[in-house]
Amino acid sequence: MKRSKKMFTVMLALCVALSMAMASVTANAATKKPKKIYLKATSTTVDIKGKVKVSVYKTKPSKASKSVKWKSSNKKVATVSKSGYVTGKKKGTVKITATSKKRKKVKKTIKIKVTNLKAKSVTLNKKSASLLKGEKTQVKATVKGQTGFYNQGVTWKSSNTSVATVTSKGIVTAKKAGKTTITATEKGGSKKATCSVTVQPDLVVDANAKTVTITATVNNATAKSMHYVVNKNGGAAKTSYFVTDVTAKEFSAALEQISATAWNDNAEFDAKTADVAQAGTKTINELAKAGVGNSNYTKMNVNIKAGTKTIDMENTLSGAKANDNFSMIYSNVANNHNAGSGCLTCNTSCYAGVVTNELKTWADPFVPKNMPKKGTIVSITYTSQDAENYTDIAGVKAALADDNSVVLDARKAADYEDAHIAGAVSADMDGYVGKSITEAASDANVKAVVDKYGASKKYVLICYSGNRYAKAARRVLMNNGVKSSNITILTGGMNAWRSAGEALDHYNYTNAATTFDKLKDSSYVILDARKAADYDNGHIAGAVSASVDGYIAEGGNKDEAAANVKAVVDKYGKDKKYIVICYSGNRYAKVATGLLMNNGIKNANIQTLGGDDSQQSAAGGMKAWNAKYAGYVVAKHTSSGNFNFANGITPENLKADVDGSKVFTVMDVRAAKDYNPETCIKGAVSTPSSDEAAVMKAVNDNKNGLYVLVCYTGNAKADEARNIMVKNGVDESRIICLQGGMKAWNN
């Protein structure tokens, strides 16, 4: 018992001594005096007023104190803070000295050069802006430079201050219609960036336009009300509509900017409307001077926007029904002083404009609730009586089979030549949209078509998406005597036609041998358009999946199919050439070709794997490939260790390459000790998965290649090597796993 107590006392004493020793070691480490210190700077060059950081990055011995006192050799050139931040003062070179606080004899100096650094770049938050007179927009500049650069900001300038001005803070204010360039230039340097600003002109009459929108900001404290009249299909007014806080002057100015179609006293289109169409564009004042319409009445749809919320007149106006014709009736500018006078129940005697205070006292239904308040934006949209007519793909096909119809392609001539609907004729309308040609040239293109086929024909218009180019062609067709009722536009344009896999005038075909030659060509992408499950079951080595089955299968998800193709283009780029693979080179390939074109790939850069004769045949697609290169088919592979590989190759198929073309780089990813040139796969290179440098050397020795990873059983080591390659930017579609590894190969 006494012996046990004695041993316990000894052990306790040892523990205490050990604890004290460890504490001493810890304390000594924290207070250890350095023999040497080493400095580094975020940059050895600093701008005047710029800052760089100098710090002690190591000591000798390594765990010695890094606590130092900083000093500048010339504070007029640069100063240094207690934490090592150096601030440039004027041009010159300064020595920054760090002295150890634990051992003052230990010092280290670093030279810092102070000079005028220039910005590397100036960027703006917007490259262009479109404004109405009086509107403002904020343009923000970002200045970037090398480490130590001092950002002084930018100076702002407008190339035409009569169109728009810009403040020292980048606030742009629109003054009058026109274009100007806003330039931000770094202070003290030459780097700059620009923003193109367009101030829209007062809107004018376009008799053929469907919609034209203007905005008028209401901001006068003494404002009264704006008076709208709702007409039932051009008949008598049934309901009044009021917008508060609008002055007579403001309303009059707005009216001069609204596009219009003239009416007569009987609420019918005046015969002179045709003259307006022939004249092209006219302002309201010009119409009034020309005496168009007996009373200069106009007809238009009106939407009132309160902030971001649009008040739908069809649903909010008392007494109105869906599809009623809503109109704003007003007199010419000279009669605006009569605003509010007359009767609200007839077209002919009702002046529009600004109503008097007395009208505000009228009871419902004449004064709607929740009216826009002072400062809101009033958006007025003119709708012509000659609205566009649209058709679908079936309508286009019917027109192609109809001798009395002409299918007119309004896209750029180059895009028409690249690929178009067989039987369609070209009339480039870019003069009205992109301006690669003149408007006169576009007019001549349409006129030539009408001269050839006749104004009495029916015309179906094709453009990119069924919008701008087609609408421009429609107007010019009408100017050349074609009735609006004989003109229709394909909804969705060529985008819709191609997405549906409808036939183009031509497709480009290739054969299996040519496709084989492109396996390692980085300028090509092999796109497999088949069902995802069929891709997983077996596809061409290196091919990427983009199933378009959503367009083929009944009830399929077309949006998903389109997204699949878009994802491939987004990843690989529009400058690539694409070879499309499907089952036999027909339906799926045509849809994929159309979707590729919808994503900006030229038809000339798209090929379809057809039959051996390089043409569409029943033996194209994977049929053609399997007939000639079955050994180069890989499939989705799950190893016994549950590692999922997008591509896996059987020993039989790999043997076809090893003994033949040697398309693959065979990478033996087993441990180096297990690699034996005598017993490994012929031509395989040793790239242990534990050696990233060896793995990437094999990749770099055969860039854009197809890589087969060989491990023990096709499990962990192959997965490790794959992760290294993907991390370093190798496309996973080009990484192939030998199914079963060396074990399967040896068997």
Q: Work out the angle at residue 284's Cα, subtended by the Cα atoms of residues 282 and 286, and round it to the nearest 5 degrees.
A: 55
Residue-wise DSSP of 1-28: -HHHHHHHHHHHHHHHHHHHHHHHHHHH
Q: How far is CA 702 from the centre of its chain?
A: 34
What is the pLDDT at residue 192? 92
Alpha carbon of 561 to those of 515, 565, 581, 590: distances in Å? Answer: 24, 7, 15, 13
CB 458 within 8 A of CB 467: no
Nearest to 428 by CA among 450, 452, 444: 444
How far is 160 from 178, CA to CA, in rounded Å?
9
Chain position carrying tokens 């100036």: 122
CA distance 359 to 348: 19
Q: Residues 510, 482: contact at Cβ < 8 Å?
A: no
Alpha carbons 510 and 613: distance in angstroms, whole number = 8
Greatest Cα pair distance, the chain, in angstroms, is 130
CA distances from 709 to 19, 389, 580, 630, 738 (A): 54, 59, 27, 20, 6
For residue 49, give Cα distances in angstroms to 53, 120, 142: 13, 17, 18
48: DSSP letter = B
- Other Cβ atoms less than 10 A from the Cβ of 481: the count is 10
Whole-angstrom distance, CA of residue 565 vs CA of residue 560: 9
Instruction: Render 254-278 in DSSP notation, one character per residue.
Output: HHTT----EE-TTSSB-TTHHHHHH
Asked whether the CA dihedral 300, 304, 310, 314 is positive or negative, the reply is negative
Residue 533 DSSP label: H
Q: Which residue has the tokens 């491939």?
A: 568
Q: Give SS3 for 719.
A: helix
Q: Is the peptide bond before 201 cis (omega within 30 degrees of 0)?
A: no
Q: The tokens of 221 are what?
A: 């404290």
Closest CA to 281 of 169, 363, 177, 202: 202
Q: Which residues, in sequence order, are CB contacts of 631 under 8 Å at separation 6+?
A: 652, 653, 654, 655, 656, 657, 660
pLDDT at 9: 57
> Residue 302 — φ and ψ, nearest 5°?
-130, 130
307: left (phi over 0), alpha (psi -120 to 50) or beta: left
Burial (0-12, 13-18, 19+ Cβ within 10 Å), 604: exposed
What residues contact 339, with CB distance under 8 A and at least 6 apart? 227, 248, 251, 351, 352, 353, 354, 355, 356
- Whether the CB-CB separation of 231 and 239 falls below 8 Å is answered with no
Distances (CA, A) of 475 to 95, 150, 470, 478, 479: 75, 56, 9, 5, 6
The pair of three-digit structure tokens given for residue 98, joined into one six-digit string:
């760090």
**On the CB side of 473, how many CA atoms lie within 13 Å of its CA?**
34
Q: Which residues, in sequence order, are CB contacts of 592 under 8 Å at separation 6+?
A: 527, 529, 546, 548, 565, 580, 582
| Cβ neighbour number for residue 511 with a 10 Å cutoff | 19
Alpha carbon 2 to chain centroid distance?
87
Residue with tokens 């609408």: 471
State residue 613's pLDDT score.
63
Give backbone dihedrals phi and psi of 486, rounded to 5 degrees, phi first.
Answer: -100, 15
CA dihedral defined by 566, 572, 574, 580, rounded to 10 degrees?
-70
DSSP codes of every residue in 293-322:
SSS-EE--EEEEEETTEEE-HHHHSTT--T
Which among 236, 233, 237 is positioned nearest to 365, based on CA atoms? Answer: 237
- 520 touches 704 (CB < 8 A): yes
In the block, which residue shows the tokens 């101030």? 199
pLDDT tens readout for residues 340-351:
222 222 222 222
Give me 463's structure tokens.
Answer: 């453009």
User: Strand, coil or helix: what is 657?
Assistant: helix
Phi, psi at residue 154, to the nearest 5°?
Answer: -135, 160
E strand segments, 357-472: 377-383, 390-391, 405-409, 425-426, 458-462
Query: Which tokens go with 646?
Result: 């997008």
Residues of the chain with pLDDT below 70 are: 1-31, 132, 200-387, 612-616
CA 166/CA 155 separation, integer angstroms? 10
Give the helix ranges, DSSP H, for 435-520: 439-453, 468-479, 493-499, 512-517
Q: What is the CA radius of gyration of the chain?
A: 39
* pTM metric for this prediction: 0.52
Is-contact 178 163, C-beta < 8 A? yes
pLDDT at 189: 84
Among candidates 19, 97, 106, which has minimal Cα distance to 65? 106
Q: What size, in residues, is the chain?
A: 747
- How many Å separate Cα 70 from the centre of its chain? 50
Tell me, what's the pLDDT at 26?
43
Residues 6 or more apart whose CB falls under 8 angstroms from that of 349 comprise 342, 343
How far is Cα 346 from Cα 385, in angstroms, rounded to an integer?
21
C-alpha neighbours within 13 Å on the C-beta side of residue 707: 32
458-462 β-sheet, strand order: 390-391, 487-490, 458-462, 405-409, 425-426
